[in-house]
């Protein structure tokens, strides 16, 4: 099954953009994933090809018309999940990416201006997705972020088949730090254990560093997922409660 991405945008020229180079680009050429891009403007009904209008109730900016966006969406809808990129959407996680990547693909709606007319979300089954607590000028870059994360998990896209599994977030932990040659640089050496050749010791060191880094850098992640890792905070709490 080939992952199929359909993107709905007012700026089709932005695609494939970064998804056309490196890993994702090569995979696209090799048909390991597919992309079609629909210009929302092609579904405007009037002579001026209008896609937006002023906000009801007044205020700044323009709002994407629900009738035009729905017509564009209906033209590609085929049962794949429909995702709209919105800052108020559910924050994207590696877990959601994994599930999406294992499916048939995704239909991705890119907003512009002030965003979409709310009735669109009432009338169609649409999952709103955010890529973080900041505002972009449009949904296209957010859609590329989402698709890139899905594409790299497709079979045969990444070099080593295993390289997706040890990454940050996959076990609810950040990844351990990396080193490569030279062994000594500006007086700093690669940790001894990584040069020992003792695979069990190396694995233990990496696990310990992953746990330590997660606790220090992302206490929120540690609180949520620490259970899965050794020495979890909730495990410790459970012990003291007993
Ligand atoms: N008025 C909106 C922001 C609109 S930004 C608000 O205050 O919430 C224009 C478009 O950019 C949005 O419709 C959305 O498609 C996209 N966008 C902006 N920030 C985003 C984010 N953090 N995640 C996903 N999409 C985003």
Whether 60 lines ligand 1, by a CB cut-off of 6 Å, is no
- Contact of 214 with 174, CB cutoff 8 Å: yes
pLDDT tens-digit readout, 106-133? 999 999 999 999 999 999 999 999 999 9
Minimum-distance ligand 1 atom for the alpha carbon of 113: 9
Position 171 confidence tier, pLDDT thresholds 50, 70, 90: confident
Mean pLDDT to the nearest integer, 163-172: 78
What is the pLDDT confidence band of residue 166, given thresholds at 50, 70 and 90? confident
Give residue 228's pLDDT. Answer: 65
Domains of the chain in sequence order: 3-151 (3.40.1280.10), 166-241 (1.10.1270.20)
Asked whether 139 lines ligand 1 (CB < 6 A), one says yes
Cβ of 131 closer than 6 Å to ligand 1, yes or no, is yes
Mean pLDDT confidence for 32-46:
98
Q: Is the pLDDT of residue 239 over 60?
A: no
Interaxial angle between packed helices 139-151 and 94-101, expressed in degrees from 0 to 180 and rounded to the nearest 10: 70
CA of 84 relative to ligand 1 center, distance in Å = 10
Q: How far is the CA of 54 from the centre of ligand 1 (A)?
A: 17
Q: Is the CB of 87 under 6 A from ligand 1?
A: yes
Does ligand 1 have an atom closer than 6 angstroms to the CB of 97?
A: no
Among candidate residues 103, 152, 153, the one with its CA nearest the CA of residue 3: 103
144 lines ligand 1 (CB under 6 A): no
Predicted local confidence at residue 156, as pLDDT? 93
Query: Quick one: which of 2, 9, 5 has its CA closest to 85?
Result: 9
192 CA to middle of ligand 1, Å?
47
Q: Quick one: pLDDT band at residue 242, thresholds 50, 70, 90?
A: very low
Q: What is the pLDDT of residues 174-194, one digit of tens each?
A: 999 999 999 999 999 999 999
For ligand 1, whether the C-beta of 69 sits within 6 Å is no
Q: Going edge to edge, which strands form the sheet with 33-39?
A: 33-39, 3-9, 105-110, 82-91, 127-130
pLDDT tens digits, one per residue of 43-67: 999 999 999 999 999 999 999 999 9
The verdict on pTM exceeding 0.95 is no
């Amino acid at each position: 099954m080939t992952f199929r991405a359909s993107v709905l945008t007012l700026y089709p020229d932005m695609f494939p953009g970064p998804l056309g180079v490196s890993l994702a680009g090569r995979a696209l050429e090799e048909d390991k994933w597919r992309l079609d891009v629909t210009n929302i403007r092609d579904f405007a009904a009037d002579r001026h090809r209008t896609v937006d209008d002023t906000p009801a109730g007044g205020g700044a900016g323009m709002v994407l018309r629900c009738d035009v966006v729905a017509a564009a969406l209906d033209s590609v809808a085929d049962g794949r999940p429909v995702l709209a990129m919105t800052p108020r959407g559910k924050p994207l996680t590696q877990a959601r990416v994994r599930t999406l990547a294992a499916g048939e693909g995704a239909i991705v709606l890119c907003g512009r201006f002030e965003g979409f007319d709310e009735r669109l979300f009432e009338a169609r089954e649409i999952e709103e997705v955010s890529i973080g607590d900041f505002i972009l000028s449009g949904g296209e870059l957010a859609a590329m972020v989402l698709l890139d994360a899905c594409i790299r998990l497709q079979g045969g896209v990444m070099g080593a088949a295993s390289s997706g599994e040890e990454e940050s977030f996959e076990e609810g932990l950040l990844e351990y730090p990396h080193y490569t040659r030279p062994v000594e640089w500006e007086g700093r050496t690669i940790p001894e254990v990584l040069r020992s050749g003792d695979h069990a010791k190396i694995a233990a060191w990496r696990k310990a560093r992953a746990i330590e880094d997660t606790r220090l850098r992302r206490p929120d992640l540690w609180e949520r997922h620490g259970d899965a890792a050794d020495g979890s905070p909730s495990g410790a709490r459970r012990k003291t409660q007993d």
